């Protein structure tokens, strides 16, 4: 198990850029499709399509903006993870034990879903926000968890299988 480390979590810049690029691509496609319908003598279809896809784009942007939770993930040298959410209640300023349930790494982004204090936690972070050293430590910890590693403090994690549900 690697040395202990802390990782800031939130909506990383690289994810925000990717989401913005996807939305701009979709919006450009809608504009082209509406222009094609308007040019084909069906302006009512172009207007209806623009309205429907505009509403869908607004909902999608709102959902993308409310992505992962902000806070600090800390992992001890024994493998135990703790989560301290930004904006935590004054009585809950102590980090809560985190039980990782699922995780995924894609490029420079990492997503971890788990439970802390009886609540579901979705952690999203990027390599740019944490730096190379902490990124390597986080990946080593996730590999250790994949191979069935269990934290020194029992969190109810089954050490017999990885959490790849």
Parent domain of 32:
13-65
Q: How many residues does the chain have?
A: 165
CA 30 to chain CA centroid, Å, is 27
Same domain, 114 and 73: yes
Average pLDDT over residues 68-83: 84
Same domain, 85 and 44: no
In tens, the pLDDT along 116-156 reads 888 888 888 888 888 889 999 999 999 988 887 665 444 44
With residue 116 as reference, give the H or E element that holds it: strand 109-116
Q: Which residue has the tokens 């600090």?
A: 72
d(CA 26, CA 7): 33
Same domain, 77 and 91: yes
Q: Looking at residue 118, which CATH number applies to its domain?
A: 2.30.29
Provide the angle, in degrees to the nearest 10, between the axes of the packed helices 13-39 and 127-146. Answer: 100
Same domain, 61 and 74: no
**37 near 45, Cβ under 8 Å?**
yes
Q: How many domains are contained in the chain? A: 2
Same domain, 135 and 74: yes
Full-prediction pTM beyond 0.85?
no
Same domain, 93 and 139: yes
In tens, the pLDDT along 138-148 reads 999 999 888 87
Same domain, 55 and 84: no
């Amino acid at each position: 198990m690697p040395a202990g480390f802390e990782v800031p979590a939130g909506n990383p810049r690289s994810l925000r850029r990717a989401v913005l690029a996807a939305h701009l691509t979709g919006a450009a496609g809608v504009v082209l499709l509406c222009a094609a319908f308007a040019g084909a003598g069906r302006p009512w279809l172009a207007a209806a399509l623009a309205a429907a896809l505009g509403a869908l784009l607004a909902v999608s942007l709102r959902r993308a903006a409310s992505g992962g939770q902000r806070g600090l993930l800390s992992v001890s040298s024994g493998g135990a993870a703790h989560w301290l959410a930004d904006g935590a209640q004054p009585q809950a300023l102590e980090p809560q034990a985190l039980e990782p349930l699922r995780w995924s790494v894609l490029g420079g982004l990492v997503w971890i879903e788990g439970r802390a204090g009886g609540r579901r936690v979705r952690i999203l972070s990027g390599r740019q926000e944490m730096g190379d050293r902490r990124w390597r430590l986080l990946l080593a910890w996730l590999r250790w968890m994949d191979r069935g590693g269990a934290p020194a403090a029992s969190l109810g994690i089954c050490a017999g299988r990885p959490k790849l549900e």
